[in-house]
Amino acid sequence: KNEVEQSPQNLTAQEGEFITINCSYSVGISALHWLQQHPGGGIVSLFMLSSGKKKHGRLIATINIQEKHSSLHITASHPRDSAVYICAVPRNSGNTPLVFGKGTRLSVIA
């Protein structure tokens, strides 16, 4: 079974700072997911990526398949980015359900 580790667990940043959240996993995968959980509890999918880099607005996700590692970057952070960011990967290689990291709680202070 894939083991997912996220770091840091908690992160506090000043508005405008560049944020990096890391995700490592143990079993080779076809794709990795980044999700955001709002303070109110709702969960939305941000990215699904299998190689390279994806960008959406101020969010950038990168993945290194060989090193089994992904990063989520937030440029010019804003208080509205405050949320829990969750990494997820397939449980095993192949077509298996996802297993989730414990999340990184981000607080951006104005």
Shortest distance, position 45 Cβ to another protein, whole Å = 4
Q: Which chain residues interact with another protein by CB under 8 A? A: 4, 30-31, 33, 35, 41-45, 48, 86, 88, 90, 95-103
Shortest distance, position 99 Cβ to another protein, whole Å = 7
Shortest distance, position 85 Cβ to another protein, whole Å = 12
Of 43, 19, 22, 20, residue with least CA distance to 32: 22
Environment class of residue 82 by beta-carbon count within 10 Å: exposed (0-12), middle (13-18) or buried (19+)?
middle
Shortest distance, position 34 Cβ to another protein, whole Å = 10
Paired residues of 20 in beta bridges = 73
Q: How far apart are CA 69 and CA 86, in angstroms?
A: 14
Nearest CB to another protein, comparing residues 2 and 77 = 2
Nearest CB to another protein, comparing residues 36 and 77 = 36
Of 88, 91, 92, 84, residue with least CA distance to 100: 88
Nearest CB to another protein, comparing residues 19 and 34 = 34
